[in-house]
Amino acid sequence: MNSELRTGDALFIVDVQNDFCPGGALAVPEGDAVVPVLNRWIKRARAASLPIYASRDWHPREHSSFEHQDGQWPQHCVQGTEGAALHPELALPDDARILDKGTKLERDEYSAFQAGPLAEELRGAGINRLWLGGLAQDVCVRQTALDARKAGFDVVLIEAATRPIDAEGGREALEEMRNAGVQVMPGDNKA
């Protein structure tokens, strides 16, 4: 696969937050393993002067997706808490664009495309391809990749830069993303 970065590319990092890492409220197994991989991609993106986007799951304390509100998930990524903070070792530059999602009480947003006019913003910035990684492979990375494809973007999933909550769900998500035209880049491409 051609993994050369070029004009029109952006790095897109999904929900690399403490609550999705080991010890967090909704921990993804080995979730923190994506951090050093993504830090190498951040360096590459900066060297190529490419923009970097990072989404955050950013819920109000009584969000409808939480079990105590009859939702599906344990309480996680509550706005302003340590659990919602980006992983402290993720080396995001100051000019990275942070995108919050899941901020409305009554609805969940697995993808930043569901939270605002992101496709328009990306197009306006001349972006046509996203290099994607983050958490979780079977939930928010999956939805972000599918929404990006629907909006007409090329998507490359950096497989080493993502982990699923559930292994089987992760395999299904990979298959679904591939079927939607996502290029899955195996390995870390350390070059």
The reply to whether 109 sits near Zn ion by the rule CB under 5 A is no
Q: How far is the CB of 164 from ligand VGL (least distance, A)?
A: 9
CA distance 46 to 44: 5
With contacts defined by CB under 5 A, name the span among 35-43, 94-102, 148-156, 158-166 that binds Zn ion: 94-102
The reply to whether 73 sits near ligand VGL by the rule CB under 6 A is yes
From the list ligand VGL, Zn ion, none, partner contacted by residue 11 (C-beta under 5 to 8 A by kind): none
Contact 185, 44 (CB under 8 A): no
CA distance 63 to 97: 24
Contact 105, 99 (CB under 8 A): no
Active site residue 21: no
Q: Which residues of 102-132 are buried (b: 16+ CB within 10 A; e: fewer)?
A: bbeeeebbbbbbebeebbeebeeeebebbbb
Active site residue 15: yes
Q: How far is the CB of 13 from Zn ion (least distance, A)?
A: 16
How many angstroms from the chain centroid is the CA of residue 58? 13
The reply to whether 140 sits near ligand VGL by the rule CB under 6 A is yes
Active site residue 101: yes
Contact 149, 180 (CB under 8 A): yes
**Residue 8: what residue type?**
G
Ramachandran quadrant class, 29 (left: phi over 0; alpha: psi -120 to 50; beta: rest): beta
Q: How far is the CB of 166 from Zn ion (least distance, A)?
A: 15
The reply to whether 15 sits near ligand VGL by the rule CB under 6 A is yes
- Among 101, 108, 138, 147, the active-site one is 101
Among 9, 57, 127, 147, binds ligand VGL (CB under 6 A): 57
Q: Of 51, 65, 49, give the one whose Cα is nearest residue 101.
A: 65
**Per-residue contact string for residues 30-69; x = within reach of Zn ion by CB under 5 A:** ---------------------------x------------
The reply to whether 19 sits near Zn ion by the rule CB under 5 A is no
Q: Where on the chain is the footprint of ligand VGL (CB under 6 A)?
A: 15, 20, 26, 57, 73, 135-136, 139-140
Q: Where on the chain is the footprint of Zn ion (CB under 5 A)?
A: 57, 102
